[in-house]
Amino acid sequence: MNPTEPNTPFLTTRREFLKTSTKAVAGAALVSAISRPGYTAESNTIQIALIGCGGRGTGAAADALSDKSGPIKLVAMADVFADRLKGSYAEIKKNFKDQVDVPEDRQFVGFDAYKKAMDCLKPGDIAIFATPPGFRWVHFTYAIEKGLNVFMEKPVTVDGPTTRKMLKLAEDAKAKNLKVGVGLMCRHSTARAELLQRIKDGQMGDILLLRAYRMHGPVGSAFTSPKTENDKMSELLWQIQHFHSFLWASGGCYSDFYIHHIDECCWMKDAWPIKAQAIAGRHYRGDCIDQNMDNYSVEYTFADGAKLFLEGRTMTGCHEEFASLAHGSKGSAIISNNGHYPAPCRIFKGQNFVDQDVVWKFPGNEPNPYRTEWNHLIDAIRNDKPYNEVVRGATASLVTSMGRMAAHTGEIITYDQILNSTHEFAPAIQDFTMTSAAPVLADAKGLYPIPQPGKVTDREY
Ligand SMILES: NC(=O)c1ccc[n+]([C@@H]2O[C@H](COP(=O)([O-])OP(=O)(O)OC[C@H]3O[C@@H](n4cnc5c(N)ncnc54)[C@H](O)[C@@H]3O)[C@@H](O)[C@H]2O)c1
């Protein structure tokens, strides 16, 4: 695949629409020739199964049930922890009483729970994947087999080998006319879409530099103290509970926290970077035993020589920043600031980001993109529009892994190197049971393998 292929925005201008509509008509004819699974005008209730009932899964189910385009209900839930499932069920039921029909015999716990939950759906319904991303390709494989539409959270892969699997699965899903959304919700941001259009119209000249910052104190499960006697669960379940700490489960804090910034910058550049070099370090670790660095400074290079600099730091007491910024030959722009939404997109005539230089600013607040991404997916299902965000989501996940591998090895890593890398972090993941061994194990001192830039250079640990 061409790493610099354009990143199609969800909104097109009328001009672009007219240019592509002839091709689209031909494409639509082809799609309608493929049978449309499940959903019909006669049976228009969309059923949902939630797989991974944590914070985001609960939020994604709520976003789905908030769509007003037609009947939609939650009918099955799956998790590896019963208490997570129960808590999520109670929360969703409280807010969407009549749209939740998940009796105990459709609440499933265990590593095969995903299959049982998807077995409750009919072709054309939607499976939501909000487990740690290491499991994504396993769950997606089964959804395709069952003819289900899917919403999967970001990241969608954690390493090169699983990205290759995901790209193949994207094609299988397309061949079955399945609709698949990926939770890179910034791609559904109205403000960013208008900014992109203005960049394409030349308002900022050529984009030469992008800068992304995600710097804050410890969040999520990225920093983990040693397992204690009180942690009665198995090593595997304990690692899953602390998934930001283990690269096999999440891609680490780098993949989980930085992917949105990397992806939105690449969207504005309308290209994917071809290589990365980076520095990273572990400073104040205390007794933490996770596999993360606590700061990352990454230089991504695009084919035209333009750069994306990413600064990621998870440390208390330091300057904090959460932003993506673009610099062009004729001006600069804010892509995001102080969170993912509302995006305060604006263009400046100079490079200084000062109020008096603002030449365009997105008016008001944009709609919540966590809701908009669902409106787009459900619209595609109800109206049988081609919809598959997997290649984009897998490429964003891969490019994220490219920067992480550069930081963890101390090497320059190219797009082709990360794509073709042979280090699969969790090769037995599809066969996990409650008694399986974990993919990484601690040594006698309770320490897990960590990246050693310059010492271990052909793999990340
Ligand atoms: N788009 C966003 O802005 C956004 C925000 C937060 C999280 N996320 C993504 O959502 C995913 C989940 O994150 P979270 O914060 O909700 O984590 P979480 O720990 O709160 O939830 C994950 C849930 O998945 C369950 N689980 C783990 N392995 C499972 C398996 N094999 N089968 C079934 N259930 C399993 C866990 O027990 C847990 O309940 C991650 O990929 C994360 O990056 C996206």
In ligand 1, the atom with minimum distance to the C-alpha of 220 is: 15
pLDDT of residue 274: 98
Q: How far apart (Å, rounded) are the C-alpha atoms in residues 277 and 309? A: 10
DSSP 138-194: HHHHHHHHHT-EEEEPSP--SSHHHHHHHHHHHHHHHHTT--EEES-GGGG-HHHHH
Supply the mean pLDDT for the chain: 92
Nearest CA residue ID for atom 18, ligand 1: 54
Nearest CA residue ID for atom 13, ligand 1: 56
Tell me which residues have their CB closer than 6 angstroms to ligand 1: 51-57, 78-81, 84, 111, 113-114, 130-133, 135, 153-154, 183, 185, 240, 256
User: Per DSSP, what are the bridge partners of residue 336?
Assistant: 324
Tell me if residue 268 falls in helix, strand or coil. helix
In ligand 1, the atom with minimum distance to the C-alpha of 59 is: 16
Q: CA 339, 344, 345: angle at the middle one, nearest 5?
A: 120
Out of 88, 92, 131, 257, give the residue to mutate to test ligand 1, the one with the largest number of ligand atoms within 8 Å of its CB.
Answer: 131
Phi, psi of 95 (to 5 degrees): -95, -20
Give the pLDDT confidence of 168-181 residue by residue, as tens digits: 999 999 999 999 99
**Residue 273 C-alpha to ligand 1 middle, in angstroms?**
27
Give the pLDDT confidence of 17-70 residue by residue, as tens digits: 333 333 333 333 333 334 555 565 557 999 999 999 999 999 999 999 999 999
**Residue 142 C-alpha to ligand 1 middle, in angstroms?**
18
Out of 89, 152, 153, give the residue to mutate to test ligand 1, the one with the largest number of ligand atoms within 8 Å of its CB.
Answer: 153
Nearest CA residue ID for atom 6, ligand 1: 56
Least confident window among 10-24, 211-225, 247-261, 370-384? 10-24
Give the pLDDT confidence of 104-121 residue by residue, as tens digits: 999 999 999 999 999 999
In ligand 1, the atom with minimum distance to the C-alpha of 84 is: 39
Our measurement of the distance from residue 201's CA atom to the centroid of its chain's CA atoms, rounded to an integer in Å, reads 28
For residue 16, name the pLDDT band (cuts at 50, 70, 90): very low
**Residue 244 C-alpha to ligand 1 middle, in angstroms?**
10
Nearest CA residue ID for atom 19, ligand 1: 54
The pairing of strands 331-337 and 321-328 is antiparallel
pLDDT of residue 92: 98
Out of 50, 63, 80, 245, give the residue to mutate to test ligand 1, the one with the largest number of ligand atoms within 8 Å of its CB.
Answer: 80
In ligand 1, the atom with minimum distance to the C-alpha of 185 is: 1
Q: List the domain boundaries for the chain.
A: 14-187+372-388, 195-367+399-431
**Residue 131 C-alpha to ligand 1 middle, in angstroms?**
4
pLDDT of residue 228: 85
DSSP 407-434: HHHSS-EEHHHHHT----S-TTGGG--T
Two tokens, residue 225 = 């103290």
Q: Domain 195-367+399-431 falls in which CATH fold?
A: Dihydrodipicolinate Reductase; domain 2 (3.30.360)
**Residue 200 C-alpha to ligand 1 middle, in angstroms?**
35
| Helix or strand holding residue 259 (H, E) | helix 252-269
Beta strand spans in 22-139 (E): 46-51, 72-79, 107-109, 126-129
* pLDDT (average), residues 389-412: 98
pLDDT of residue 43: 75
Q: How far apart (Å, rounded) are the C-alpha atoms in residues 249 and 176? A: 28
% of the chain with per-residue pLDDT over 70: 91
Is a pLDDT exceeding 50 seen at residue 303?
yes
In ligand 1, the atom with minimum distance to the C-alpha of 131 is: 24
CATH label, 14-187+372-388, candidates 3.40.50.2300, 3.20.20.150, 3.40.50.620, 3.40.50.720? 3.40.50.720
B/e letters for 261-285, b = 16+ CB within 10 Å, e = fewer, are bbbbbbbbbbbbbbbbbbebeeeee
Q: How far apart (Å, rounded) are the C-alpha atoms in residues 282 and 280? A: 7
**Residue 61 C-alpha to ligand 1 middle, in angstroms?**
12
Residue 100 DSSP one-character state = B
The region, left, alpha or beta by phi > 0 then psi within -120 to 50, assigned to residue 251 is: left
Nearest CA residue ID for atom 34, ligand 1: 79
Q: CA 144, 61, 242: angle at the middle one, nearest 5?
A: 85
Q: pTM of the entire structure?
A: 0.93
Out of 50, 79, 115, give the residue to mutate to test ligand 1, the one with the largest number of ligand atoms within 8 Å of its CB.
Answer: 79
Q: Which residue has the higher pLDDT, 42 or 82?
A: 82
pLDDT of residue 229: 81
Residues in the chain: 461
Give the pLDDT confidence of 234-267 residue by residue, as tens digits: 999 999 999 999 999 999 999 999 999 999 999 9
Residue 322 CB partners (closer than 8 Å, separation 6+):
213, 214, 215, 216, 336, 337, 338, 339
